[in-house]
Amino acid sequence: MSAIDQIFAELKSQQRKAFIPFITAGDPDLDFTADVVRELAKRGCHLCELGIPYSDPIADGPVIQASYTRALGQQLRVSQILDQAQSLTNELSMPLITMVSYAIIYRQGLENYVQQAKQAGIAGAIVPDLLVDEADALADICRREDFSLIQLVTPTTPRERAVQIAQSSTGFLYYVSVTGITGERQELPAELTEDVAWLKQQTDLPICIGFGISRPEHVQLLGAVADGIIVGSAIVRQFADLADRPRADVVDSIGQYVDSLLAALNPATS
């Protein structure tokens, strides 16, 4: 079992759901990234997505795009992000996942990227621009290395294709709650819970919902049908506050915000 498999097995035995925050690696620098990751772990998050900045994001909204732009201004290399991740995974029990473009993995070399990420303690990768029709080579490497390959299903994915994506994925399945790009929204589609309930009947993989989730009521609603909740833009938005507020205050503000979502997701254990 991978580290992600173990987390979900443990949560299932406790009848709890996973809370998975997303943060951009290197915005504004890797020291701040480390501070936020430690705070998220301290607050009780179960997994954490590290977004590897990319100049041509596929589905990221303006908040994460701006964060990627700030990070890219630091001239970061993938190897630096993985080195920082390794220093964190040595001290944390919360597994880290990379959100990474397939273009970056391809440029690094599929097997090389997986092995380097695994050596850094990374438990898996979400690859939003990897088509399931082209995923076999990377999926085979990931299975051999016990490294989770997490793929995305959207509300417009045909059901037959959704099953194919689930069969190609490991760790968990990322269900995109809305069509379009990432970002905070006031409301979520009414048909979402029905679609996720159908998908859960097609796969044994945990299903985690992301995109557009920002409020405790979102988390409470979706937690009833999902195995985990992913929140990104609402957290990353606070990174821009660093221009006007001390780092420690921003880190604490992120922690308090995450506390409110964790309380809504697992109220009996909060």
Structure confidence at residue 269 (pLDDT): 47
Per-residue pLDDT band at 224 (split at 50, 70, 90)? confident
Structure confidence at residue 71 (pLDDT): 93
Residue 253 in this model has a pLDDT that exceeds 60:
yes
Strands (E), 66-194: 96-99, 122-126, 148-150, 152-153, 173-176
Per-residue pLDDT band at 184 (split at 50, 70, 90)? very low
Per-residue pLDDT band at 187 (split at 50, 70, 90)? low
What pTM value is reported for the model? 0.92
* Maximum distance among all Cα pairs of the chain, rounded to whole angstroms: 50
Mean per-residue pLDDT of the chain: 91
Average the pLDDT over each of 38-42, 183-187, 263-267 and give the range with the smallest value.
183-187
User: Which one of 5, 27, 39, 60 is the catalytic residue?
Assistant: 60
Structure confidence at residue 268 (pLDDT): 66
Assess whether 49 carries a catalytic annotation.
yes
* CA atoms lying within 13 Å on the CB side of residue 46: 25
Report the candidate in 43, 50, 42, 25 with the shortest Cα–Cα distance to residue 91.
42
Between residues 228 and 243, which one has the greater pLDDT? 228
The domains found in the chain, sorted by start residue, are 3-262 (3.20.20.70)
Q: What is the identity of the amino acid at 168?
A: S
User: Which one of 5, 49, 195, 227 is the catalytic residue?
Assistant: 49
Contact status, residue 236 vs residue 24, Cβ threshold 8 Å: yes
